[in-house]
Amino acid sequence: KAGVTQTPRYLIKTRGQQVTLSCSPISGHRSVSWYQQTPGQGLQFLFEYFSETQRNKGNFPGRFSGRQFSNSRSEMNVSTLELGDSALYLCASRMLNTEAFFGQGTRLTVV
Amino acid sequence: TQLLEQSPQFLSIQEGENLTVYCNSSSVFSSLQWYRQEPGEGPVLLVTVVTGGEVKKLKRLTFQFGDARKDSSLHITAAQPGDTGLYLCADISNFGNEKLTFGTGTRLTIIP
């Protein structure tokens, strides 16, 4: 079966711009979580969506937001980009109480 | 806030050698998971352990969960170049909100 698909794979943006990243979960998976991975902070939880509702949110500023559609696809948006937002953004999908499957990530570079 | 410290941060060894990496938590784990992440890929789940003192084996990998459920180790026997990657431990919240708290990671390089 197809895995978790994240688009785009690579992205370069300028400070102050906004960006939208997309995640298509494995078919049948209704939970989608987003993580930020940086060399300094490691892998950090951003938020989790289930059935179009945000169930949990990490300690990130309000510039980071997300949503989930009725087909379980999810998007995350970062507004007013800062240099420190440069990172690998990973999404993971799961069925309830089962293994999380991660996508390959979107590498965001802010210049 | 739970903190998961992994050691060593970096490890480079020759093919065929044995190694152990560690994960220590500031609080009791709900459930502990180990992941491996290869360059350009997302993390892949290796194992989930729940019970204190539990030992699980996956081919040449042996995972041990501390009795107090605050620490874990991953032992690799006869390391191979394919074992190269970033090893991450993680705690999965069991309060229904599907949140993973990841450790700081051990970057392992196996030299052929």
Residue A40, class by beta-carbon neighbours within 10 Å (0-12 exposed, 13-18 middle, 19+ buried)?
Answer: exposed
Tens-place pLDDT, residues B47-98: 999 899 999 999 999 999 999 999 999 999 999 999 999 999 999 875 656 6
Tell me A59's DSSP state: S
- Tell me what pLDDT residue A95 has: 85
Contacts of B104 in chain A (CB under 8 A): 42
Report yes or no: A54 at the B interface, CB cutoff 8 Å. no
* Residue A87 three-state SS: strand
Compute φ and ψ for A85, nearest 5 degrees: -80, -5
- Bridge partners for A31 per DSSP: A50, A94
At A67, the pLDDT band (50, 70, 90 cuts) reads very high
Q: Are strands B106-111 and B10-14 parallel, antiparallel or unpaired?
A: parallel
CB contact under 8 A, A45 and B100: yes
Tens-place pLDDT, residues B29-61: 888 999 999 988 999 999 999 899 999 999 999
Rounded CA gap, A19 and A107, in Å?
12
Report yes or no: A28 at the B interface, CB cutoff 8 Å. no
- Tell me what pLDDT residue B97 has: 63
